[in-house]
Amino acid sequence: MEKNLLFIRGIYDTIDLFIEAFTAAFTSLGCACHTIDVRDEKTAMARLRELIEAGTLDGVITFNNIGYNLSFTGGTSIWDEKSIPYFNILMDHPFHYSRPLEHAPKSSVIFCTDLGHVSFLRRFYPNLKQVDFMPHAGMEADLSEYGAAGACHLCTDGDGYHPPLKERPFDVLYAGSLSKYVAEGLIPDLGEIKDFDAFTLTQEVLSDLIRCPYKTTEQAIEEYLLSIGKQYTDRELNQWITGLRFIDSYATSFFREQAVRLLVEEGIKVTVFGSGWEQCEWADNPNLILGGKVLAPQVLELMNHSRIVLNTMTWYKNGIHDRIINGMLAKAVVLTDESLYLKNGILARKESCLEAFSLQEIHRLPQLAEGLLGHPGRMEEIAENGYLAAKEGHTWLQRAEFVYAKYLQG
């Protein structure tokens, strides 16, 4: 029986691209897919009313809580009022979304992209009855066709065209902003926190994460509180972790900046796209090429012009970032820090599908990059293996098949 699914878009370009890929995947599975864009609220609500009145919706799929509180009455959400499953995929750590999660529809199925995030929700949000793990997926751009600026053709059937590595102009690409400049806006008035010395906690936890980057931010915060004999409830701890989540962004940015700086100071050219890089004190290094801020579709295209796609996780300790899979699907060689999920999956394969390093040994990064760039044959082999591994298990089609089989079939 055909399933009718509604997809909600309208926050920023990356999620719009995820929606495009996920919609194509569910369509290929025989689902009827409808889309509304909350940037045009009047049109979106009119279309939503039409679909609701038709009584055919089997579920709504969205990212990062978009539309969680949509209502025709100003009270109960549409999803609870009509008993429509609300599939919500969190692409970031849940501590960024405390209010939507506290008021999530009762019909919610929450998907996390890191197994640690699943544990976090199950501990701190008992109101969420269905929480599951669904790792990031990748998208493949087909460079045999070109669209308008800021657009790309997603390859949803077969294999796309990817330029040979030897013809690609970028040695190393990093696509991502320095989030410490965003984190500055997340810092609360630490002096207002009376339960403990928040200034000392911030310094100690950040130092701990830099020394022991295998820890999660919430783990480091709780370990510090225990070390000073602080007692708390889970509710109090969650409030503190949420208020101090800027520490996570600072730790992420520390290693992100270190990774690029180490390479350029060793004479390796790195092209960076995203904001914040121009503010680094070493931004005048001639090996650092500032590409500026670009939209998500352009990033997919740029990866196809890069020999190495460099990644550092947004503090995922048991997940994978879409930058990794997108790089593999661009037939580039991905050079990334490791996670438990990577160790148990892609890195456990017999063939080399990417090159990984430990953040504790980030000083080895230039040696790894030089070893790749100096051996083009090995790079070709890794890039091909990575492409096949990503196509086999990490596309939006595989994620759609998972959701369909577990939550929609029958």
Query: Could you report the per-residue pLDDT of 266-287, keeping only the tens digit for each?
Result: 999 999 999 999 999 999 999 9
**Low-confidence residues of the chain, pLDDT below 70?**
1, 144-153, 156-158, 179-183, 185-186, 410
| Residue at a domain's end among 243, 268, 289 | 243
CB of 335 closer than 8 Å to CB of 270:
no
Quick check: helix, strand or coil at residue 214? Answer: coil
- The span from the CA of 241 to the CA of 96, in Å, is 10
pTM of structure: 0.93
The CATH number given to whatever domain includes residue 307 is: 3.40.50.2000
Residue 313: φ, ψ to 5°: -65, 150
Question: Does 30 lie in the same domain as 68?
Answer: yes
Residue 156 falls inside a structural domain: no
Residue 403 falls inside a structural domain: yes
The CATH number given to whatever domain includes residue 96 is: 3.40.50
Residues in the chain: 410
- The span from the CA of 94 to the CA of 235, in Å, is 14
Helices 296-303 & 13-28 angle (0-180, nearest 10): 70
Helices 198-211 & 246-265 angle (0-180, nearest 10): 40
- The span from the CA of 163 to the CA of 63, in Å, is 32
CB of 317 closer than 8 Å to CB of 114:
yes
Burial class (CB in 10 A: 0-12, 13-18, 19+), 395: buried
pLDDT at 10: 84
Question: Does 380 lie in the same domain as 346?
Answer: yes
Q: Express each pLDDT in 170-181 by its tens digit.
A: 999 999 998 666
Range of the domain at 213: 189-243
Question: Does 381 lie in the same domain as 285?
Answer: yes
Q: Express each pLDDT in 361-391 by its tens digit.
A: 999 999 999 999 999 999 999 999 999 999 9
Question: Does 106 lie in the same domain as 174?
Answer: no
CB of 168 closer than 8 Å to CB of 305:
yes
pLDDT at 150: 45
pLDDT at 145: 60
Q: What is the tally of structural domains in the chain?
A: 3
